[in-house]
Structures are given as C-alpha cells and as structure tokens.
C-alpha cells in the first residue's frame, strides 16, 4: 500500500509552480549580473529588495502547492 494518495492536479498547483519559477529567476539573474557578494548584500540589507520579495513569492508558491494537495470535496 502506498502512503501517498492519488492526486488530481488543480489550478492552485499550476499557479504554485509558476510562482516558484518566477521567484527563482530574479536571484539567478542578479547572480549573473552582479555576482554573489552583491546578491548576499541584497538579501541582508535593511531595504526592501527584489531578492526579499522573491523569497515571499517562493513562500506563496509553496503554500499554493500545499493547498492544492489538500483533499478536494466535489459535489455530485
């Protein structure tokens, strides 16, 4: 017996994947353009930066995927 239940994908998981992909693009782009020292400074500075916003977007994406895995109730 499998511990995992069969999963029917929902729109929330699709949005979660899109959020995660868009959240990963910004730090990778800044690593290529600015280098690791500047990106680390962007993460640790007191200002609101794109890297910090990408962390929030990443958390939202993971949350959407977890909510998408929640058992769905269908009316028949």
What is the pLDDT at residue 68?
84
- Nearest CA-CA partner of 60 in 7, 12, 25: 12
Given the structure tokens 């290529």, which residue do they identify? 32
Please say whether the beta carbons of 18 and 65 come within 8 A: no
What is the pLDDT at residue 42?
84
Indicate the domain borders of the chain.
36-76
Phi-psi region of 65 (alpha: psi -120 to 50; beta: other; left: phi over 0): alpha
pLDDT digits over 12-34, tens only?
889 999 999 999 999 999 999 98
Does the pLDDT value for residue 2 go beyond 60?
A: no
pLDDT digits over 32-76, tens only?
998 888 888 888 889 998 889 999 999 999 999 888 877 665 555
What is the pLDDT at residue 59?
97
């Amino acid at each position: 017996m499998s511990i995992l239940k069969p999963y029917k994908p929902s729109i929330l998981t699709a949005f979660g994947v899109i959020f995660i992909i868009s959240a990963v693009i910004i730090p990778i782009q800044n690593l290529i353009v600015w280098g690791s020292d500047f990106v680390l400074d962007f993460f640790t500075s007191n200002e609101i930066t794109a890297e910090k916003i990408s962390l929030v977007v990443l958390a939202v994406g993971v949350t959407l995927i977890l909510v998408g895995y929640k058992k769905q109730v269908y009316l028949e």
